[in-house]
Amino acid sequence: MKPALAAAVLAVLAAFAALALGCGSKPAAPDKPTPVTEPATNCTAPDDCDLVDACCGCSAGGKKLAIRKDAIAGFLASREQRCGGVVCLAVMSTDPSCDAEAICGSRNRCRVAPHMQHP
Protein backbone atom coordinates (compact mmCIF):
# COMPACT_ATOMS: atom_id res chain seq x y z
CA MET A 1 0.00 0.00 0.00
CA LYS A 2 1.34 3.42 -0.91
CA PRO A 3 2.14 5.79 1.99
CA ALA A 4 -0.41 8.41 0.85
CA LEU A 5 -3.17 5.81 0.60
CA ALA A 6 -2.25 4.32 3.99
CA ALA A 7 -2.40 7.78 5.58
CA ALA A 8 -5.83 8.41 4.04
CA VAL A 9 -7.15 5.06 5.30
CA LEU A 10 -5.85 5.81 8.82
CA ALA A 11 -7.46 9.24 8.75
CA VAL A 12 -10.84 7.77 7.76
CA LEU A 13 -10.58 5.09 10.47
CA ALA A 14 -9.69 7.72 13.06
CA ALA A 15 -12.70 9.80 12.02
CA PHE A 16 -15.04 6.80 12.37
CA ALA A 17 -13.56 5.98 15.78
CA ALA A 18 -14.13 9.53 16.97
CA LEU A 19 -17.73 9.44 15.78
CA ALA A 20 -18.34 6.08 17.46
CA LEU A 21 -16.99 7.37 20.77
CA GLY A 22 -19.14 10.48 20.57
CA CYS A 23 -22.37 8.55 19.97
CA GLY A 24 -22.53 7.09 23.46
CA SER A 25 -21.47 10.18 25.34
CA LYS A 26 -23.74 12.25 27.53
CA PRO A 27 -24.83 15.69 26.38
CA ALA A 28 -22.67 18.53 27.63
CA ALA A 29 -23.74 20.13 30.88
CA PRO A 30 -24.97 23.72 30.63
CA ASP A 31 -22.26 26.32 31.06
CA LYS A 32 -23.98 28.02 33.96
CA PRO A 33 -26.47 26.70 36.50
CA THR A 34 -29.89 28.30 36.63
CA PRO A 35 -29.54 31.46 38.73
CA VAL A 36 -31.14 31.46 42.17
CA THR A 37 -33.26 34.56 42.63
CA GLU A 38 -33.33 34.45 46.42
CA PRO A 39 -30.75 32.47 48.39
CA ALA A 40 -32.10 30.22 51.13
CA THR A 41 -30.22 32.32 53.68
CA ASN A 42 -32.03 35.66 53.20
CA CYS A 43 -33.87 36.81 56.32
CA THR A 44 -35.44 39.82 58.00
CA ALA A 45 -35.90 38.50 61.56
CA PRO A 46 -34.28 35.82 63.75
CA ASP A 47 -37.49 33.75 63.55
CA ASP A 48 -36.93 33.39 59.78
CA CYS A 49 -33.90 31.13 60.38
CA ASP A 50 -33.29 27.67 61.79
CA LEU A 51 -30.41 25.20 62.05
CA VAL A 52 -30.25 22.05 59.93
CA ASP A 53 -27.72 19.26 59.73
CA ALA A 54 -25.17 19.59 56.94
CA CYS A 55 -24.42 16.32 55.12
CA CYS A 56 -23.43 14.81 58.45
CA GLY A 57 -25.11 15.88 61.67
CA CYS A 58 -23.34 16.65 64.92
CA SER A 59 -23.72 13.06 66.15
CA ALA A 60 -21.94 11.88 62.99
CA GLY A 61 -18.86 14.12 62.95
CA GLY A 62 -20.63 16.92 61.04
CA LYS A 63 -22.01 20.36 61.67
CA LYS A 64 -25.13 22.53 61.43
CA LEU A 65 -26.03 25.21 58.88
CA ALA A 66 -28.38 28.18 59.25
CA ILE A 67 -31.01 28.56 56.52
CA ARG A 68 -34.47 30.06 56.15
CA LYS A 69 -37.21 27.96 57.74
CA ASP A 70 -39.23 27.89 54.53
CA ALA A 71 -36.25 26.41 52.65
CA ILE A 72 -35.68 23.47 55.02
CA ALA A 73 -37.94 21.00 53.16
CA GLY A 74 -36.15 21.64 49.85
CA PHE A 75 -32.77 21.44 51.53
CA LEU A 76 -33.61 18.09 53.11
CA ALA A 77 -35.07 16.79 49.84
CA SER A 78 -31.81 17.54 48.04
CA ARG A 79 -29.65 15.81 50.68
CA GLU A 80 -29.10 12.63 48.66
CA GLN A 81 -27.92 14.60 45.62
CA ARG A 82 -25.70 16.97 47.62
CA CYS A 83 -24.24 14.41 49.99
CA GLY A 84 -24.16 11.22 47.92
CA GLY A 85 -20.41 10.68 48.23
CA VAL A 86 -20.00 11.86 51.82
CA VAL A 87 -19.17 9.32 54.52
CA CYS A 88 -20.29 10.32 58.02
CA LEU A 89 -18.32 9.18 61.04
CA ALA A 90 -19.78 7.64 64.17
CA VAL A 91 -18.28 10.30 66.45
CA MET A 92 -19.61 13.38 68.20
CA SER A 93 -18.57 16.55 66.41
CA THR A 94 -16.70 19.34 68.13
CA ASP A 95 -17.76 21.90 65.51
CA PRO A 96 -18.96 25.14 67.20
CA SER A 97 -22.18 25.02 65.15
CA CYS A 98 -23.28 21.98 67.18
CA ASP A 99 -23.76 24.21 70.24
CA ALA A 100 -25.18 27.30 68.57
CA GLU A 101 -28.33 29.01 67.40
CA ALA A 102 -29.58 30.49 64.14
CA ILE A 103 -29.74 34.27 63.89
CA CYS A 104 -30.55 36.79 61.19
CA GLY A 105 -27.13 38.40 61.00
CA SER A 106 -25.33 41.02 58.98
CA ARG A 107 -26.54 41.70 55.45
CA ASN A 108 -29.83 39.98 56.35
CA ARG A 109 -28.42 36.46 56.10
CA CYS A 110 -29.15 33.49 58.35
CA ARG A 111 -26.03 32.74 60.38
CA VAL A 112 -24.85 30.21 62.94
CA ALA A 113 -23.95 32.03 66.17
CA PRO A 114 -22.91 30.98 69.68
CA HIS A 115 -25.77 30.93 72.17
CA MET A 116 -26.35 34.32 73.73
CA GLN A 117 -25.24 34.59 77.34
CA HIS A 118 -28.28 35.74 79.31
CA PRO A 119 -27.73 37.26 82.75
22 by Cβ neighbours in 10 Å (0-12 / 13-18 / 19+) ranks as exposed
pLDDT for res 39? 61
Residue 79, pLDDT > 70, answer yes
Residue 23, pLDDT > 90, answer no
Question: DSSP letter at 31?
Answer: S
Sequence-distant (6+) residues with CB within 8 A of 84 are none
pLDDT for res 11? 46
Q: How many CB atoms are located within 10 Å of the residue 58 CB?
A: 19
pLDDT for res 117? 54
Greater confidence, 39 or 116? 116
pLDDT for res 109? 95
Whole-number Cα distances in Å, 60 to 21, 38, 54: 43, 30, 10
Average pLDDT over residues 15-36: 40
Average pLDDT over residues 82-87: 93
Residue 111, pLDDT > 50, answer yes
Determine which helix (DSSP H) or strand (DSSP E) holds 75, and give its type and residue range. helix 72-77
pLDDT winner (highest mean) among 38-42, 50-54, 73-77, 79-83: 50-54
Sequence-distant (6+) residues with CB within 8 A of 110 are 40, 41, 42, 43, 48, 49, 50, 66, 67, 68, 102, 103, 104
